[in-house]
Structure formats: C-alpha cells, structure tokens
C-alpha cells in the first residue's frame, strides 16, 4: 500500500468520530440522531470504495444530507 492510499484509509471508529463531529457542527446533533448504526456501517463501506480523503467524504455527505 502506498503512502497516498494509507492517508485515505481510516478505521471505523475514527470514521464515526469524524462523522459525529461533522453532524454536531452542521446540524446541532450527533450522527445517531440522523442515522442508524447499519446506515453508518453502509456509509463507511461506501467511503472505503471512494478515492477521497475522509474529511472531504464526510463533509460532502453531511452537506448533502436531508
């Protein structure tokens, strides 16, 4: 795995923390007020298939979220 790919890989726990922080900042409530664990897990797996940084992926998702 090269260095640029390693920077895009994030563990599930860190991903949820980032998602929670972004939802709290943008919506006033944490991620679990909006999504179930299975939704978050599916989102995490979708993130793993993308070639963008975790921060960009999460910010775009929250911005576009209902």
| Per-residue pLDDT at 5 exceeds 80 | no
User: Which pLDDT tens digit goes with each residue over 29-47?
Assistant: 999 999 999 999 999 999 9
Residues in contact with 23: Cβ distance below 8 Å, sequence separation at least 6, in sequence order: 29, 30, 31, 33, 34, 62
Rg (CA), the chain: 12
DSSP state of 28: S
**Predicted local distance difference test score (pLDDT) of residue 8:** 55
pLDDT band, very low/low/confident/very high, at 11 (cuts 50, 70, 90): very high
């Amino acid at each position: 795995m090269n260095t640029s790919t390693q920077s895009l890989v994030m563990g599930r726990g860190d991903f949820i923390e980032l998602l929670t922080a972004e939802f709290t900042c943008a919506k006033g409530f944490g991620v679990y007020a909006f999504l179930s664990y299975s939704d978050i897990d599916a989102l995490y797996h979708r993130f793993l298939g993308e070639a963008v940084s975790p921060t960009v992926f999460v910010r775009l998702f929250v911005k576009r979220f209902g």
